[in-house]
Structure 1
């Protein structure tokens, strides 16, 4: 499978909710909005609207610091087992940030901060495979095209059980990723259980530099181009400009920007992209600090302003930077939004690494962002101009494959099977999660069509075959209802 396209993600990703996508490339979706260069690691006293006197008055008193020290001493002296000082200190920081009740304000230790920085820089060193935790097992969502993982024969659905003899069961996905990744040129001996296989096998993969492509472009017909953005990282704006120019050379007269399931990224990347469409000096964004003071960000006029129709596709996985771009295109450009309501993240984060002093990092919410017209979309999302929901099959996850699905079984896995069969043209008599005789008949029909052993039961091989067929179907743009609606809307504005 190629690491490309939202349609492919729909069947294989187990979770794509903004802020929780883990891969070999990332430890946390880049949901912060200002790059370190923009933020200049501001302290609270340098945040717009905050005064130095206020910051000074809010410092911990000697009595409060003594209280923290006493708590640590009690733990060190009396706790049942010997304590790790670093672990206690990190836990204290986590506790303070958790008390803020803001999911976007987080603490990263040295290793997590390093991975976070690598994510923003759009490259990393490893085997090149996106993974999820499926029932506690590290499972390959997709090998990245051209990566060592793909060349070694690792495919979607493969379970990674161990790395260099170290078992991964019981680890968090982030902990497992840390073991799988490594310096370029080093070997990762992976214990792999392939879908449908009865026994694991070992593969040796040589780690390499893995670029993370965030921009994909194509002409969807003779006059309309489409640019898909998977996240906004350091190279995204540059790649967008390159692909935009390429599409224009091919005769593009209208553009569709696809930010479905894009969890966000860097603010400066979004604003750079917006400069292709917004006249210099026109407001593209507003920000509001803790004191309610607002300031405006205007287009800088870096590029010639395009005047052709622009349509943006959004859905519930479009968050943060994606919503900023959607808001700009809607309110400052007059473009249209197609799809489903966006996620609703309207806050700005900056990172504090220099202040921490040891390679760790605090990512903290410091401002609200608002659309050009001053709308705050936090926890509300942005409504599309043209609402289009995808067929149910687009939102399904992969089978767990824990057990063979057979007659009289009941549950979500059976319902998933029924919905997928129906999407492939093998509609059973019901889709309520009960494995009926009609369901068994359609399983037999699918197995016959794909030359699988005909049993009427969905074993791991049959489920893998169904997933592959559905993935192929989703890759076909004619089955993407939102894309087809976006094409129609763009054509209408072109006078077609």
Structure 2
């Protein structure tokens, strides 16, 4: 392949916010590509070409001299130079191309083998706004109700407008136990405040269990250094228990190391068949082929949603196209580009992570900004997508709005029959609120104050985590049971 001798990774940049920031979902080559043998320099121009013309260098130098000599205030040289780099990369209009200073680069390099503290969400910077790609499964962000495509407007009252992704993430990062008060913009609703208590985000990436009917289930939270080995061990254990079919769950999995997902896919993709392809800007394609795999004799289902991205999409696409698996759930996120990290070239411990290639499925499909559609589309119950209540005012009879609608969906999800879910607080909704309050030791006022709102959110979060409500999982499991009969 044309990065022969290099390691190809997909890094998960979690909003783990002890972390730093190139917090964007990336399929990254940690060491730089070199096209020197093909007549190209590592920086992309023809061998022997200067990066800048004399006039361009003069223009840059003059700008710096004017800042240094004429600007009203004294300036930090490093800050100005870093700003110039940010500006050049920002002009590319690519959310996955970023600059990291020395501290950020070190954290980036260390993050795959560490335990982090933060809120646990993957983010990118799109159109100048911090956008959630996916909350990590089981993370404080997920438990607090953060969802894919949420826009984080401010943190603890500090607006994020105009900041680089690195700067924004530094605002959100913090120690375990501290609070991040996030103002969230969500399509079709007024901005809301979500309080997330930061915590340790351990890298425990694989969980397996045997469901009724000898249906195995493996949940993959992300793809990091030990994921492939753990996955293979747990897969083997399920097979030794007489597993008849397998469900692989990559919902809300934002990605990870390509090396890991390739090793895992070799268990399923027959020897010599492509697992993934990459293509450079000149249209040259190379394939990663399965080595030694023979496929599996049992049916396979893959659970996906719009938080499944990058490495998760590589897995879903390869299992669908090269291993005969069926996909269940919702369309995936749609992240189909590859980044290369240039650190040695900068020489001071900082690095540039730049988009240099696209990746494609075994059949050559590019999923970028399109995602992968499921074979069987399954929507979760409406209460799975409720927003946290704003708690700005006590909700009462005859009120109308998004808070009332979300409250009604919560009550309905709890089996309390609010009578309607259109956002109008009627008498039947008030009776459902009273029933909830009585069952939870609260004054049965029929009005939703802060304490009632908090209890409702806690109760519905518990219901969402209960597998009995997971329609996507139920549908996939039932399909697998039929397939083995």
- Above 0.5 in TM-score? yes
Name the counterpart of 2:16.
Answer: 23
Q: Tell me, what secondary structure is at the counterpart of 2:460?
A: helix
Deviations 1:118-160 (A, max 9, x none): 3322x2355x764899xx9xxxx99979xxxx9xxxx9669xx
The structural deviation recorded for 1:398 is 2.7
Alignment counterpart, residue 237 of structure 2, candidates 228, 243, 246: 246
TM-aligned CA distance change 1:144 to 1:262, over 3 Å? closer
TM-aligned CA distance change 1:61 to 1:125, over 3 Å? same
Alignment counterpart, residue 336 of structure 2, candidates 334, 346, 357: 346
Q: Distance in 2 between matches of 1:333 and 1:142?
A: 27
Alignment counterpart, residue 69 of structure 1, candidates 61, 73, 77: 61
TM-aligned CA distance change 1:321 to 1:477, over 3 Å? same
Name the counterpart of 2:170.
Answer: 175
- With a CA cutoff of 8 Å and minimum separation of 6, indicate the structure with the bigger relative contact order: 1
The structural deviation recorded for 1:265 is 1.8
Contact 1:30 1:266 in 2 (8 A): no
In the superposition, the TM-score normalised over structure 2's length comes to 0.79
In the superposition, the TM-score normalised over structure 1's length comes to 0.78
The structural deviation recorded for 1:174 is 2.5
C-alpha RMSD of the superposition: 3.4
- The yes-or-no answer on 1:436 pairing with 2:387 is no
Q: Distance in 2 between matches of 1:45 and 1:432?
A: 62
Name the counterpart of 2:277.
Answer: 286
Name the counterpart of 1:107.
Answer: 99
Deviations 1:87-112 (A, max 9, x none): 21111111111111111111122222
Deviations 1:355-414 (A, max 9, x none): 222222211111111111111111111111111111121122333334332334333222
Name the counterpart of 1:227.
Answer: 218
Contact 1:30 1:264 in 2 (8 A): no
Name the counterpart of 1:421.
Answer: 411
Name the counterpart of 1:32.
Answer: 26
- The yes-or-no answer on 1:308 pairing with 2:298 is yes
Q: Tell me, what secondary structure is at the counterpart of 2:158?
A: coil
Name the counterpart of 1:473.
Answer: 463
Name the counterpart of 2:372.
Answer: 382
- Range moving further from structure 2, 57-66 or 278-287: 57-66
TM-aligned CA distance change 1:397 to 1:142, over 3 Å? farther
Alignment counterpart, residue 207 of structure 2, candidates 216, 226, 235: 216
Alignment counterpart, residue 356 of structure 1, candidates 346, 359, 364: 346
Q: Tell me, what secondary structure is at the counterpart of 1:54?
A: coil
TM-aligned CA distance change 1:178 to 1:480, over 3 Å? closer
Give unpaired runs (5+ residues) of structure 1.
1-17, 159-166, 182-187, 194-202
The structural deviation recorded for 1:472 is 2.0
TM-aligned CA distance change 1:327 to 1:256, over 3 Å? same
TM-aligned CA distance change 1:328 to 1:354, over 3 Å? same
**What aligned pairs does 1:4-403 form with structure 2 within 5 A after superposition?**
22-24=15-17, 26=19, 27=21, 29=23, 31-36=25-30, 40-43=31-34, 45=36, 54=46, 56-57=48-49, 59-121=51-113, 123-124=114-115, 126=117, 130=120, 170=158, 174-176=169-171, 178-180=173-175, 211-301=202-292, 305-403=295-393
